[in-house]
Amino acid sequence: MTEAALKQERARKLAALETAMGHPFVDRTLLELAITHSSLRDPWTESNERLEYLGDSVLGLAVAEHLFCAFPDEAEGELTRLKSLVVSRQGLSRVARALDLKTHLRVGKGIRKRGAIPSSLIANAVEALIGAVYLDAGFEPARAFVLRQFEPLLDGLTRRREEKNHKAVLQRTIQKRYGTTPAYRLVDTVGPDHRKEFVVEAVVGERSFPSGKGSTKKQAEQRAAREAIRALKKSDDETDAGEADA
């Protein structure tokens, strides 16, 4: 293949990667750099290591901001755990597969001869791409790229958290049935100051439900919501059984 044909093929592949990313680069040399591994390095070729370093920080900020807003009731430790699930090697590898990134990477002959490109290398290149988008267009486009590419993981977290979020489930149930929202009332606090527990009950209009207890008010509210859901389900089951008997 002639040099001109090689350049044309290279440009075609870069355009395909831009399309998959959903980001047309103003400076396409940044995209080329992002897919260039250090194994290809020579005195005239720079690698993507610096972009990887930058992209790691941009990725962390974008995901941390998203989780902070998506889960306002979660404490720092839980937000940190959720973030680690998203920006993990597995998460990066999933994005790399969606972009078919391994077909675009520029690596040394030694790596190509071994056969499969290591997944860690491909995952690192995702961070380099994020860094490249950031330098090309700024934080907002980089943030949008991150949220777009990691959307399946982030949506999965939201669904799983909602399943465990008894307050959210109770609120949807009460809104659907009664067109209002439940309130939470502090009934009591028990125990010494260093091991204090809060007792909370869910209230809908004049009706109160069995209370829940927790070491924090938020935890007690979640448990109170769980008790309310159980009470509503029991009431529904009893109604269904009565109708069946009739």
Give me the CATH number covering residue 156: 1.10.1520.10
Task: Say what the pLDDT of residue 236 is.
Answer: 81
Taking the C-alpha atoms of residue 203 and residue 226, their distance in angstroms, rounded to an integer, is 13
Q: Are residues 62 and 134 in the same domain?
A: yes
Highest mean pLDDT pick, 2-6, 126-130, 167-171, 222-226: 126-130
Question: Do both 95 and 214 map to the same domain?
Answer: no
Q: State the pLDDT at residue 180.
A: 94
On whether both 157 and 189 belong to a single domain, the answer is no
Number of compact structural domains in the chain: 2
What value does the mean pLDDT take over residues 117-142? 93
The pLDDT assigned to 218 comes to 86
pLDDT of residue 75: 84
Name the residues annotated as catalytic.
56, 127
> 133: exposed, middle or buried (C-beta count within 10 Å: 0-12, 13-18, 19+)?
buried
Same domain, 55 and 147: yes
Tell me: do 134 and 194 sit in the same domain.
no
**Same domain as 170, residue 54:** no
Same-domain check for residues 27 and 148: yes
Task: Using the 3D structure, point to which of 161, 180, 212 is the last residue of a domain.
Answer: 161
What is the C-alpha to C-alpha distance for residues 226 and 136, in angstroms, rounded to an integer?
Answer: 48
- In this predicted model, which residue has the larger pLDDT, 126 or 162? 126
- Name the H helices within 115-216: 119-137, 139-149, 151-164, 166-178
| Cβ–Cβ under 8 Å, residues 173 and 179 | no
| 174/232 Cα distance (integer angstroms) | 10
Beta strands at 183-190 and 207-208: parallel, antiparallel or unpaired: unpaired
Q: Do 155 and 84 belong to one domain?
A: yes
Return the pLDDT at 61. Answer: 97
Whether 194 and 105 share a structural domain: no
Note whether 149 and 199 are same-domain residues. no
Q: 42 or 102: which carries more pLDDT confidence?
A: 102
> Do 156 and 198 sit in the same domain of this protein?
no
pLDDT at 115 over 90: no
Partners of 184 in the beta sheet? 202
CATH of the domain at 205: 3.30.160.20
Region 76-91: what's the mean pLDDT?
92
- The contacts of residue 146 (CB under 8 Å, 6+ apart) are 58, 59, 62, 63, 130
Residue spans of beta strands (DSSP E) within the chain: 183-190, 197-204, 207-208, 212-214
* 3-class secondary-structure state, position 94: helix
Q: What is the mean pLDDT of residues 185-200?
A: 91
Domain termination residue (choose one: 128, 161, 194): 161
Residues 146 and 185 in one domain: no
Domain of 30 in residue numbering reads as: 3-161
pTM higher than the cut 0.85: no
Of the two residues 229 and 158, the one the predictor is more confident about is: 229
Q: Are 71 and 162 in contact (CB under 8 A)?
A: no
Q: State which of 142, 161, 180 marks the end of a domain.
A: 161
